[in-house]
Amino acid sequence: MALGSLLLISACFGQEVQSPQPPVKTEQRGRILGIGGVFFKSANRGPMREWYSKHLGLADKGGGVMLPWRERDDPQKEHATVWTIFPDSTDYIPATQQFMVNYIVDDLDALLDRLKQEGVKIDAKRMNASYGRFAWIYDADGNKIELWQPLSAKP
């Protein structure tokens, strides 16, 4: 995020914003490695896809846009953030939310164990796919968050 954007956010919300700091590297398992996906809903998926393609270069032809990146501390580790528009009628994203963020984690079980001990609301549902394991938690406002451990991030 550009410094100008941070200053604009600061002015709008009346809070002091400091330069972003890199995450603290720890040896603890169950860490967030990055953003695996940004998903949002639209009742007008076609026109929305066209708008994002034309104005921002995000050309989603139905399978989402893959935005590749590498880990800062280990540039050999490649990841991708998926950006996609879901139909407004989807039940994948709760009706109370317009967006859902997916975080890449290094050890899903370790993270869920720690979050359970910390009293975080955890969805009982789990999903195993050919590209990794998934679980869902809820933040303090009740927003659903997706956690994803790619197959390459095995402990």
The total of other beta-carbon atoms located within 10 Å of residue 104's CB is 22
Q: What is the dihedral of CA 91, 79, 55, 88, to 10 degrees?
A: 0
Of 89, 94, 97, 86, the closest CA to residue 60 belongs to 86
HEC states along 58-103?
Answer: CCCCCCCEEEEEECCCCCCCEEEEEEEEEECCCCCCCCCCCEEEEE
Q: Which helix (H) or strand (E) holds 4?
A: helix 3-13
pLDDT at 42: 94
Question: pLDDT for 120-153, tens place per residue?
Answer: 999 999 999 998 999 999 999 999 999 999 987 5
pLDDT tens for residues 76-129? 988 889 999 999 999 999 999 999 999 999 999 999 999 999 999 999 999 999
pLDDT at 58 over 60: yes
pLDDT tens digits, 68-77: 998 888 899 8
| Per-residue pLDDT, 82 | 92
